[in-house]
Amino acid sequence: MRHNNANRLAWLYGALILLGSALVALLQSSAS
Amino acid sequence: MKTQRRTGVLWLALYLIFALAPLSLMLFGERPMGREFEREISVALGFTGIGLMTLHFAMTARIRALKEPFGSDVVYAFHRRMGYITLALWLAHPIILFLRFEWALGLLNVLEAPWRARWGVFSVVALLALVVWAVLRRRLRTEYTLWRVSHGVLALAAMAMVMTHAYMVGRYVGTPLKQGLWIAYGAISLLLVGYLRVWKPWQMLRRPYRVVEVRPEQGNVYTLAVEPVGHAGLRFEPGQFAWITARHSPYASQEHPFSFASSAEQQGRIEFSIKELGDFTATVKDLPPGEPVYVDGPYGALSPDRHTDADAIVLIAGGVGIAPMMSILHTWADRGDPRPVTLLYGSPEWEGVAYRDELERLQGAINLQVVHVLERPPADWEGERGYITREILERHLPGRDTRFRVYLCGPLPMLTFVSRALREAGVPDDRVELERFDLV
């Protein structure tokens, strides 16, 4: 794997983490 | 090759699972209800931030199985990128709270804030210092070992403080199962540090080496030859590297990465190529014969032994990136490998071309063509000049009907430049293996 791929993968993981966190926060804040 | 790709995918999947697992704390079992979205996302980002932190310990613990599929330099590049993302998550956690809740700003006052908030503030400051220092290390001219030890200590301190913070705040960590997950993350981080700093040095002490000779080459490069003491040495592939400790105990965190320069077929005497650049490298030439040396390796994925499908190989080296190529060439000679090798070797000036005499000799021993490319050639130079461009590549690469592979090693700007030139010359990316020489 090349350095560019490492870079892209880091961005992808960052985006997934953000998405996952937002989803969980949404679920949790709308739960009652 | 196929197994390695599969292992690589497995590691990448595990990485994501470990990063996202803390979010499960917020979805199951006992959990606070009816809180604002901003507060929840702040917590979620903080939790994944702690997950990522643990993974940094895994990436830097020099676990060979983990680095094999990618190459150490790529793992370090990924570690750096994810470092920025980790810091962004750790910063986003309080900043979201500050923006949404006025009271939250008061928590920054570490003199009066409750301890649960203080630990949070301290941990972010520690991580911020760690990342800023890592980015500015070269500009600040921090001595390598001092930086590396501080990097590790700051990381452990940040981790301990952030876990204390999460535990004292106490949301989502009410049940033993949830506490268990946190303890697991903390314990894994500690175990990884223990593996790198206690277990590995112990292994190195049990398998020592001693200096046979230190030979000066051209271009401020020294060849350090060592031999195993009381054991058989280690097996490596040509093109790999190892971490070396000299003049210190392996426990002193004084190891530096150097390429093997000798043949992979000769384990009884191993040579490393060392360029005199700074702190440690400048003292290598004074190592007396008999001096103990400790070797941790092999690492690195720049090896033609991993691809047996090539009819010819092309080696492209910039500066001291020649070291792994020397190992490949000596191995070729020892094995009597008849496949043709082309070496494109970029250097600033003829005077500083390391191993040029040895390359001359090797041309007689194996099917090798050496092409020197000089940035500032002497007046009577008839060879290639400038940088390794598309035109130079097209003149010297094997013909289209030859299945060849390219191995490229040098500093990052050279790798970027030559990779582009290779693409322009029509060499597909999957035929090119590259390794950045300045690893850390």
List pLDDT tens digits, range B254-266.
888 899 999 999 9
pLDDT for the residue numbered B182: 87
pLDDT band at B291 (very low <50, low <70, confident <90, very high): very high
**Exposed e or buried b for every residue in B247-286, given b needs 16+ CB within 10 A?**
eeebeebbbbbbbbbbbbeebeebbbbbbbeeebbeebee
E strand spans, B251-367: 256-260, 270-275, 292-299, 312-318, 341-347
Alpha-carbon distance B242 to B300, whole Å? 8
Match 């990618």 to its residue by tokens: B70
Match 């590297």 to its residue by tokens: B241
pLDDT band at B1 (very low <50, low <70, confident <90, very high): low
What CATH class has B306-436?
alpha beta
Please report residues of B whose CB lies closer than 8 A to that of A7.
Answer: 77, 81
Q: Please say if the pLDDT value at position B311 is more than 50.
A: yes
Tell me the nearest-neighbour CA distance from A16 into chain B, angstroms: 9
Mean pLDDT of B18-23: 94
Q: Look up residue B367 and give its DSSP letter.
A: S
What is the percent of chain B where pLDDT is above 90?
70
Match 């301190």 to its residue by tokens: B157
Tell me the nearest-neighbour CA distance from B314 into chain A, angstroms: 18
Please report residues of A whose CB lies closer than 8 A to that of B434.
Answer: 2
Q: What angle is formed at CA B207 by the lines to CA B202 and CA B210, rounded to 5 degrees?
A: 120
pLDDT for the residue numbered A1: 45
pTM: 0.85
Q: What angle is formed at CA B142 by the lines to CA B139 and CA B148, rounded to 5 degrees?
A: 120
Cis preceding-peptide flag for B298 (omega within 30 of 0) = yes
Please report residues of B whose CB lies closer than 8 A to that of A10.
Answer: 78, 81-82, 84-85
pLDDT band at B301 (very low <50, low <70, confident <90, very high): confident
Tokens of B105: 């700003």
pLDDT for the residue numbered B71: 82
Q: Is B316 helix (H, G, I), strand (E, B) or coil?
A: strand
pLDDT band at B2 (very low <50, low <70, confident <90, very high): low
Tell me the nearest-neighbour CA distance from A11 into chain B, angstroms: 8
**Domain B209-299 maps to which CATH number in 2.30.33.40, 2.40.30.10, 3.30.750.24, 3.40.50.740?**
2.40.30.10
> Which residue on chain B is closest to A27 by alpha carbon?
B27
Match 């540090």 to its residue by tokens: B193
Domain boundaries, chain B: 2-204, 209-299, 306-436
Looking from the CA of B128 toward its CB, the CA atoms found within 13 Å total 10
Q: Which residues pair with B270 in a beta bridge?
A: B226
Q: Please say if the pLDDT value at position B29 is more than 80.
A: no
Q: Look up residue B433 and give its DSSP letter.
A: E
What is the percent of chain B where pLDDT is above 70?
98
Please give the C-alpha separations between residue B406 and each of A25, B239, B426, in angstroms, as whole numbers: 48, 13, 12
ipTM over 0.90: yes
Note whether A32 contacts B34, CB cutoff 8 Å: yes
Check if the beta carbon of residue B26 is closer than 8 Å to that of residue B43. yes
pLDDT band at B427 (very low <50, low <70, confident <90, very high): very high
**Exposed e or buried b for every residue in B61-76, given b needs 16+ CB within 10 A?**
bbbeebbbbbbbbbbb
Q: Please say if the pLDDT value at position B246 is more than 80.
A: yes
Fold of B2-204: Four Helix Bundle (Hemerythrin (Met), subunit A) (1.20.120)
- Examine domains B2-204 and B306-436 and report if their fold is the same: no
Helix H or strand E encompassing B370: strand B368-374
Note whether B31 contacts A32, CB cutoff 8 Å: no
Check if the beta carbon of residue B256 is closer than 8 Å to that of residue B247. no
- Give the A-side interface with B, CB within 8 Å: 1-3, 5-7, 9-11, 13-14, 16-18, 20-22, 24-29, 31-32
> Which residue on chain A is closest to B4 by alpha carbon?
A1
Comparing CB atoms, the residue among A3, A11, A28 nearest residue B31 is A28
Quote the mean pLDDT of chain B: 91
Question: pLDDT of B339-381, one tens digit each?
Answer: 999 999 999 999 989 999 999 999 999 999 999 999 999 999 9
Question: pLDDT of B160-206, one tens digit each?
Answer: 999 999 989 888 887 888 888 889 999 999 999 999 999 999 999 99
pLDDT for the residue numbered A28: 86
